[in-house]
Amino acid sequence: MVNYYDAVVVGAGFSGLYMLHKLREAGYRVKVYEAGSDVGGTWYWSRYPGARCDSESIYYNYTFSEEIYNEWTWSERFASQSEILEYLNFVADRLDLRKDIQFDTRVISSHYQDKDEQWLVTTDDGEQVKAKYFITGVGCLSTANIPKFKGLEKFKGEWYHTGRWPHEGVDFKGKTVGVIGTGSSGIQSIPVIAEEAEKLYVFQRTPQYSIPARNHPYSKEFIQQTKANFHEIRKKMHQTSTGLATEPRNRSALSDPPEKRKQAFEKAWEEGGLNLFYTYNDFTVNEKANATISAFIREKIAAIVKDPEVRDKLMPTYYFGTKRPVLDTNYFETFNKEHVELVNVKEDPIQEITEKGVGTKSGAEYPLDILVFATGYDAMTGTLLKMDIRGRDGLSLREKWADGAETKTYLGLAVNGFPNMFMITGPESPSVLSNVPTSIEQHVEWIFECIEYMKEKGYEIVEATEEEETSWSTHCREVAESTLFVKTDSWYTGANIEGKPRRFPIYLGGVGTYGEKIKEVANKNYEGFKLQVVHM
Ligand code: NA7
């Protein structure tokens, strides 16, 4: 006996929780499946030491309810993983969401049934349900990338991926630890692990730019003022390019003389956070503008790191901002510590994991008690493709997205051939290049209104047309190709995963512009979607 729902939602992070709330409030029958044992999504899994958000806390939350906004108070500028998880638990309790979420359950497939126009969803415990709408809220960075190093199974020590961190924590005291990877997760965790470990090896492939977070507790006055400005803040978050209430100054880095530019950089460096990235608006589109900020950060690194050899190894060369900007607390300072050693694995790549530790091509072996993989994710499409999603006539999403220069979505929300399926922060939407909760609100509200419109007008099926999908995907690619993003290997482009097609599956036009576009589509009776009334 198969249960029927109006909608099945996958994931109980920021996306799934809000989607559930919105639909359930309007009387729809909704079932949420979540692989974790509780709510939180990425903040449930990523419990590594030092894990925190790079968006300022006052923006990294829902804004759909002023009441909820007022009932929650962030303690500091950049919230820790545990505080964000606490926030999501608070929201789940406050809205009584858990009763419609099935935890510890992974959706393994979802197949559109042409004969009854329902999605047949199958989970890893063999349960099958049917739903009119299939909605994914699986996050853009949720499928851990553990490089296939030879010999990992032989390793006698403990090993962990930052995105699958044990709930009880890891005790590094007195241990020799290795961290592979210097992206955001590596850069956040390395200084914290170094505080405890007896010896720390950092295996670095690409040196990174990183900006001091300058985290600090929020004052009571600041919080009061923020809450008093709720409406203005929410409005701005949905209008800016970033999804924050702040955005880059509308000015080229080349429009100021060097002295003035330096002053702007110095001020922003002292303020910390993404302020430096927002001093000018052309770092990711103009090589010369980029050179100014890249050189500035390199100078800062040089001033912090004492050992000239280590300093050289830490010098980034790519275009700043074309890999995800990283915020840190004492990252470069950590390399001044005697017990921290930087290993350049670009020059001497990791060859294998041995019983004892990490072995490199040159024959060197680094003995370890604990190995940490801070090696990132199969981003953007990885988690969607892990599920076997099949649309009309058995068309598989994996096949549809297998090759070509574009991922192929309409607005990052829908895919031609996959009727009544919606993606929250899907590929080719602003997603990871925005304050993600704002993008999530934008998508959830749009999907909800579309479903309401369908009901009101008596439509049964909504499907993106091939023509509009092609036009949107082409637009996304063309915007990306006019920037420096496509010139750097990163998880944005899929270059971190062997065999993954190289693309840029993120819409770079910004949250505000994107919001206008999807609103216009809705206002024009869902232009670019085919809406059908009758069953065939
Ligand atoms: P990232 O940003 O993808 O960083 C992964 C790091 O791991 C990066 O330094 C990689 O070097 C390195 N890496 C990956 N594979 C290897 C191998 N095989 N050998 C050596 N080094 C390797 O992941 P994060 O978890 O730090 O951050 C992901 C996002 O999560 C972050 O931006 C936030 O949005 C949250 P590379 O640069 O590819 O040379």
Determine the distance separating the centroid of ligand 1 and the alpha carbon of 178, expressed in angstroms. Answer: 15
Neighbours of 331 (CB within 10 A): 27
Tokens of 137: 């809220």
- Give, for ligand 1, the residue of 48, 149, 205 to mutate: max count of ligand atoms closer than 8 Å to Cβ: 205
* Contact residues for 188 (Cβ-Cβ < 8 A; gap 6+): 48, 49, 50, 51, 52, 328, 329
Residue nearest to atom 28 of ligand 1 (CA): 376
Q: What pLDDT digit, counting tens, does each position of 486-517 carry?
A: 999 999 999 999 999 999 999 999 999 999 99
Per-residue model confidence (pLDDT) at position 480: 98
Strand order in the sheet with 340-344: 158-161, 370-373, 176-180, 199-204, 340-344
Q: Is the pLDDT of residue 534 over 90?
A: no
Per-residue model confidence (pLDDT) at position 535: 56
Determine the distance separating the centroid of ligand 1 and the alpha carbon of 88, expressed in angstroms. Answer: 26
* Distance of alpha carbon 113 from alpha carbon 130, whole angstroms: 9
* Distance of alpha carbon 370 from alpha carbon 130, whole angstroms: 44
Alpha helices in 159-229 (DSSP H): 184-196, 220-228
Q: Is the pLDDT of residue 191 over 60?
A: yes
Question: Residues lining ligand 1, CB < 6 A?
Answer: 141, 147, 162, 180-186, 203, 205-206, 324, 345, 350, 374-377, 491, 496
**Ligand 1 nearest-atom number relative to CA 491:** 3
- Give, for ligand 1, the residue of 140, 165, 185 to mutate: max count of ligand atoms closer than 8 Å to Cβ: 185
Residue (of 397, 373, 395, 371) closest to 386 by Cα position: 397
Residue nearest to atom 15 of ligand 1 (CA): 375
Q: What pLDDT digit, counting tens, does each position of 292-333 carry?
A: 999 999 999 999 999 999 999 999 999 999 999 999 999 999
**Ligand 1 nearest-atom number relative to CA 141:** 30
* Distance of alpha carbon 451 from alpha carbon 51, whole angstroms: 36
Mean pLDDT within 469-488: 98
- What sign for the dihedral angle of Cα 352, 358, 360, 362? negative
Q: What pLDDT digit, counting tens, does each position of 383-392 carry?
A: 999 999 999 9
Mean pLDDT within 520-536: 91
Would you call 73 exposed, middle or buried from its count of C-beta atoms within 10 A (0-12, 13-18, 19+)?
Answer: middle
Read off the pLDDT band of 1 (50, 70, 90): confident
pTM of the model: 0.98
Reduced to 3 states, what is the DSSP secondary structure of residue 56? coil
Determine the distance separating the centroid of ligand 1 and the alpha carbon of 183, expressed in angstroms. Answer: 4
Q: What pLDDT digit, counting tens, does each position of 416-451 carry?
A: 999 999 999 999 999 999 999 999 999 999 999 999
Mean pLDDT within 43-57: 98
Residue nearest to atom 2 of ligand 1 (CA): 183
Neighbours of 224 (CB within 10 A): 11
Instruction: Enumerate the β-bridge partners of residue 202.
Output: 179, 342
Determine the distance separating the centroid of ligand 1 and the alpha carbon of 305, expressed in angstroms. Answer: 22
Q: Is the pLDDT of residue 131 over 90?
A: yes
Percent with pLDDT over 70 in the chain: 100
Per-residue model confidence (pLDDT) at position 311: 98
Mean pLDDT within 340-360: 98
Mean pLDDT within 25-42: 98
**Ligand 1 nearest-atom number relative to CA 147:** 18
Determine the distance separating the centroid of ligand 1 and the alpha carbon of 57, expressed in angstroms. Answer: 24
Q: What is the DSSP letter of 346?
A: T
Instruction: Enumerate the β-bridge partners of residue 252.
Output: none
Residue (of 376, 291, 301, 361) closest to 333 by Cα position: 301
Q: What are φ and ψ of residue 185, in 5° steps?
A: -65, -45
